[in-house]
Chains A and B, each alone.
Chain A
Amino acid sequence: MLDKVTKQKLVVIGNGMAGIRTVEALLERAPDLYDITVFGSEPYGNYNRILLSPVLAGEKTVDDIMLNTVDWYEDNNITLRKGETISMIDRRTCEVVTDAGDRVPYDRLLIATGSNPIMLPLPGKELPGVIGFRDIYDVDRMIKASTNYRNAVVIGGGLLGLEAANGLMKRGMNVTVVHLLDTLMERQLDPVAGGLLRKSLEERGMVFKMPAQTQAILGEDRVTGVRFGDGTELAADLVVMAVGIRPNFELAKKAGLYCERGIVVSDTMQTYDGRIYAVGECVQHRRQTYGLVAPLFDQAKVCANHLAMKGFATYDGSVTSTKLKVTGIDLFSAGDFAPGPDKEEIVLQDANRGVYKRIILKDKKIVGAVLYGDTIDGPWYFQHLRDGTDVSHMRERLVFGAANLGDGGVNGQNSVAAMSDETEICGCNGVCKGAIVKAISEKKLFTLDDVRAHTKASSSCGSCTGLVEQVLAFTLGGDYSAAPKVKPLCKCTDHSHDDVRRVIVEQQLKTIPAVMRFMEWKTLNGCHSCRPALNYYLLATWPGEYRDDQQSRFINERVHANIQKDGTYSVVPRMWGGVTTPSELRAIADVAEKFNIPTVKVTGGQRIDLLGVKKEDLPAVWADLNDAGMVSGHAYAKGLRTVKTCVGSEWCRFGTQDSTGLGVKLEKFMWGSWTPAKVKLGVSGCPRNCAEATCKDVGVVCVDSGYEIHFAGAAGLHIKGTEFLTKVETEDETLEVIVALTQLYREEGWYLERMYKWCDRVGLEQIRKRVVDDIANRKALFARFAHSQQFAQTDPWAERASRGVDRNEFAPLAELELA
């Protein structure tokens, strides 16, 4: 039909991971934009090349590593021409020419030709029995050779060479690894780690000849041996050349596209010919070429965006990490670990345990890490490396890893590799390690998002995210696609929280549809993740102007109560500073009896919770509580929750200040304000800290000479003591600092990001500078908070109980009596 005629033609050269990942991403973004034809010279669908080593080692089969079967191409109306090679690109006529002379026209062309193994120009390299290690065909030949022959020589002691050598050894061959340098995997390891690796491979029976230069491959009808630079010879029936890979850009070069070490591409993955894109190992981007899978996926996403004509994403390069896929050997390396004058090193070496860790720091940040023997913390270091976290505050314990910093999640369990399959990883959704591993292998998952979607692990509270990432790394052998450094707000957009907040201000966007239109949202009305976030950002940016969108609120904030598992609600009236009166208690008791409320419970924040209230009863319950002078306790809000206090100087023989009074004052000033995530305060009257103020979002510890203000604590998913912000002398100053701090958080925090995470991201010093040191800024922040409170401090219960707001929300639309 008409569509058919107007559809543009996209031709993809290369049926590997990069090309097909781009096509997949394109189909997600613009399923009907192109007629797609894929050329692949191998006779298969798309498979996971990084898992060839386990296939060689007999730990997986070829079927296990297939990513897209031939059916997938059919289902998506993609023409797959497998076993056909493109011999020429005719840029004048916009056609590609196959080796059989067939000409296929394109509107857009994607080159994803990957790379070739480097074959050293040695005499005898053409002999049968000399092969590279790159595709299924090579693996087949190696497996065959292992059944008929005994002696193998692997040239190259890098990642690929060692994996090949390990596989052949597992297949029963005698394997000698020849390496030019005296350190194995010198691009990823330092000499110490390289030495440990060599030792443990030798213990398994691998033989090394290094440093050694291969001079010739010997044999007449088939390889019989190799000769080295020093004149010695070694018998061999199989020689695997694994000295590296070289981007495969011959085709592009012949077509006159500008190439250096690869096809040179821009940040939108375009070559010098704007119609022609390139992704994967064949490209050179900002002087870098990549041979690992994570960068390819990043590139594929950007390229797909551009092909889908949603041209805002750019590729800024990737930081990569490596893990050797040899079962039983734990090795991890990431970043830059060459010594330098401006770099510092932290080294831990424990010869008996076979553990070696070296963390390289520069400007208080991790720039490189080499781990051997204990790689559990690899992903954790890598995350800090990519995020550029200032690690000075944890420096002394850094080398001992996340568990020793209390950063290991709820159960403190960190050693994923050592866990049994029944060990529960995600406590929220009851997902155990075995289920995650099974989903990753059976459903070919690569990313954290994939795992979340398929297993629900890490999709609720997120505290097990690190563990799930480790399971991914462990199952995929390390080279998985880690969450990108700049995380998009949700799947509906590629923009980050920061981008969205900035654009809302710059462009004066004042409604959710306006933001979605301007920022080219990929979905019609967003989703349950982005809509509440946008609603908050608009509310915080335009107080008094933006009209709160109830339909973009999570149910709890829409009906001002907390939904329970059976669909009933819980109701928590406010008790300022945790102080109540006999008449309030009487009113609560009356309400509980009148509405048959099954459970009455005291909360951790010094309030009373009425559980099991039917939705239609809510307005009447609130009316009764309002009559007794109580208002909403906002126990459901991403906003100010509670101020917990101790009795302080009014009663306590140790109290130094009126902590109860100060708590009440803070709560009266700050109630009703919406924040990125919940905010809980505590005020203790002396350093005995009975109000547990030092694990709150903001805590005050009164001392004889004034008030210590702490913040960024947590006692939930993570246990974290607060950071000391400053000490002031008066209650008024305390209020001013805390309000200013909260306002800064309101303006900068990402939706659902607790204060301690915001502090981690932005940095304590940054915050102190703007809230404590810069007094004019503090006062401006305070004034902005005060301004927004005029519009926020209306009791939502009273509005609904007696003023008829949202009446429709609480009553059924109709009641049917069916026969």
Chain B
Amino acid sequence: MTSWIEIGALDDIPRLGSRVVRTPSGNIAVFRTESDEVFALDDRCPHKGGPLSQGIVHNKRVTCPLHNFVIELANGQAVAPDEGCTHTHPAKVENGVVWLSVRQAAAVS
């Protein structure tokens, strides 16, 4: 069962930018693309834990600010040849409101 939580207005996230949602199990970065799609990922780069929310967003990818790992927003995968994956969470926009469904990972630290 997916339980959706309202987290704020789409306009509060800059285009090609990100905002952070705090949760007890760590920050979730919510990204907004140029075409107003939203994606939610754990705010941790699979490489060295860098805060992805602080990275530069381009198309449907974000570049980690620490060492330039590029992560696919849709599935959290590092773009080849880099390897690694960040946990993703379902997110959607309805009438200008952003909804998030926090998906617990099997083992979230």
Contact = CB atoms under 8 A, between A and B. Distances in A.
Contacts of A528: 55-56, 58, 63, 68, 70
B57 A551 contact: yes
Contacts of A812: 19-22, 27
Contacts of B16: 525, 551-552
B105 interface: no
Given A454-B81, A812-B22, A527 B63 contact: yes
B43 to A, nearest CB: 8
A567 B12 contact: no
Interface string A529-545: 00110000000000000
Given A524-B34, A815-B22, A816-B22, A555 B65 contact: yes
Number of contact residues on A: which range applies? 20 to 34
A767 to B, nearest CB: 32
A798 B13 CA distance: 23
A639 B22 CA distance: 34
Contacts of B15: 551
10 contacts: A528-B56, A552-B56, A554-B56, A567-B49, A812-B20, A813-B7, A813-B21, A815-B21, A816-B7, A816-B24
Interface string B41-83: 0000000111100111111000101111010000000000100
Contact of A814 (B21, B25, B49, B59): B21
Contact of A813 (B30, B34, B67): B30
B48 A565 contact: yes
Contacts of B8: 813-814
A563 B102 contact: no
A647 to B, nearest CB: 39
B14 interface: yes
B54 A555 contact: yes
Contacts of B25: 818
B71 to A, nearest CB: 11
B21 A567 contact: no
Given A555-B54, A815-B22, 15 more contacts: A524-B58, A527-B63, A528-B58, A531-B56, A551-B17, A551-B57, A554-B56, A555-B65, A567-B50, A567-B54, A808-B19, A814-B8, A814-B22, A816-B5, A816-B24
A808 B68 contact: no
Given A453-B81, A554-B65, A816 B102 contact: yes
B23 A816 contact: yes
Given A550-B14, A813-B8, A555 B22 contact: no
Nearest to A429: B67
A102 interface: no
Contacts of B30: 813
A454 B57 CA distance: 22
Interface string A513-527: 000000000011111
A815 B4 CA distance: 14
A567 B63 contact: no
Nearest to A428: B67
Nearest to A531: B56
B55 A555 contact: yes
Interface string A551-593: 1101100010001010100000000000000000000000000
Contact of A523 (B55, B59, B67): B59
A814 B7 contact: yes
Interface of B: 5, 7-8, 12-17, 19-25, 27, 30, 34, 48-51, 54-59, 63, 65-68, 70, 81, 98, 102
A268 to B, nearest CB: 29
Interface of A: 429, 443, 453-454, 456, 459-460, 523-528, 531-532, 550-552, 554-555, 559, 563, 565, 567, 808, 812-818
Contacts of B57: 525, 551
Nearest to A459: B68
A808 B58 contact: no
Chain B interface SS verdict (over half): loop
Contacts of A554: 56, 65
Contacts of B24: 816-818
Nearest 4 Cβ contacts at the A-B interface: A813-B19, A528-B63, A814-B7, A524-B59
B59 A525 contact: yes
A812 B51 CA distance: 13
A523 B58 contact: yes
Given A808-B19, A818-B24, A531 B58 contact: yes
B66 A565 contact: yes
Contacts of B70: 527-528
Contacts of B59: 523-525
Contacts of A817: 24
Contacts of B34: 524-525
Nearest to A527: B58
Contacts of B13: 808, 813
Contact of B14 (A443, A525, A808, A816): A808
A808 B19 CA distance: 8
A525 B55 CA distance: 14
Contacts of A815: 21-23
A271 B34 CA distance: 42
Contacts of B50: 567
B60 to A, nearest CB: 8
Residue from B14, B15, B30, B48 having most chain A Cβ neighbours under 10 A:
B14
A173 to B, nearest CB: 41
Nearest to B24: A818
B102 A818 contact: yes
Nearest to A814: B7
Contacts of A559: 54
Nearest to B28: A816
Contacts of B54: 555, 559, 563, 567
B4 to A, nearest CB: 12
A310 B54 CA distance: 34
A809 to B, nearest CB: 8
A818 B23 contact: yes
A532 B50 CA distance: 20
B5 to A, nearest CB: 6
Contacts of A454: 81
Contacts of B98: 813
Contacts of B63: 527-528
Contacts of A818: 23-25, 102
A818 B13 CA distance: 22
A664 B15 CA distance: 40
Residue of B13, B14, B21, B54 ringed by the most chain A CB atoms within 10 A: B54
A525 to B, nearest CB: 4
Contacts of B23: 815-816, 818
Contacts of B48: 565
A456 B48 CA distance: 14
A460 B67 contact: yes
Nearest to B35: A524
